[in-house]
Amino acid sequence: MTAPWRKPCPPGQAAREAAGLRWLAGAGGCRVVRVLGAEDDLLLERLSPRRADAPAAEALGVALARTHAAGAPWWGAPPPGTEGDGQLGAAALPTPSTPPAGWGAFYAGWRLQPYLRAARDAGTLDAAASQELDRLLSRIADGHHDHDQPALVRSSGHVAARLHGDLWSGNVVWTGDPVEAVLIDPAAHGGHAETDLAMLALFGLPHLEHVLAGYHEASPLADGWRERVALHQLHPLAVHVLLFGDSYVAPLLQAARRAAEGRGRDSGAVGPGW
């Protein structure tokens, strides 16, 4: 039997991440790395990476649509059993203690403002950049950028989709024969399905166009989704500004301007394959 992968975790993190993985696995969509133990460290099944191919990518899109459609009870809702601990998964995202009024209030108040405020306090964002971003945040919080979920989420009756929450390409492991995608390292919570898709595009994913085709076939995306890619990439870019500094300020401001103008990939949105 292959030895499990032992992932060292800060105090409390193993249980949170295990809860997120089990919540995602319970959706019956994407394959998620199996949890073998969650005491001080996280014990996971060991995966043998392979090269992605188009059929596996399309299957990931279909599976991700089903995961999203499993839903969450409210915007920002954490996996069951982790309520009230203040953060989510590997990315340690803050979680609201009560349901926000809408997606815009959640996204602006819990996914953008904490990171932008910290970056401003650290001196990474100057006054002009902060003022520009604050104007956009105000409009997002007021609901001016709210939009429909994909079809399967809407028909499920859930307001919020069940998100991986940190779905960049490094958290998709291609493995097996035939190849399939396995998700790792979530910050699972209730959010907008387009956020996971935009994150996949931010740093590039092999065969992303096939992922999107499979997703859209299974759960058609709401009109104008391409124009909202930059909007959904604001959060990871804000996190990168805080963590890595000045080099991400220009991409953040570019994405903010595209989000404000409603422009998507065809006009130069961040991320390949859109």
Residue in 41, 126, 146, 166 annotated catalytic: 166
Instruction: Characterize the bridge pairing of strands 189-191 and 35-38.
Output: unpaired
- Are residues 146 and 224 in contact, defined by beta-carbon separation less than 8 angstroms? no
- Are residues 37 and 43 in contact, defined by beta-carbon separation less than 8 angstroms? yes
Give Cα 248 distance to the centre of its chain: 18
The reply to whether 146 belongs to the active site is: no
Q: Rounded to 5 degrees, what angle do the CA atoms 92, 235, 202 make?
A: 105
Q: Which of 267, 266, 102, 91 is nearest to 196 (CA)?
A: 91
d(CA 51, CA 53): 7
Burial of 213 (0-12, 13-18, 19+ CB in 10 A): middle
d(CA 210, CA 55): 8
What does the CA dihedral 49, 23, 86, 83 come to, rounded to 10 degrees? -160
Burial of 50 (0-12, 13-18, 19+ CB in 10 A): middle
d(CA 167, CA 58): 16
> Where in the sequence numbering do the catalytic residues fall?
166
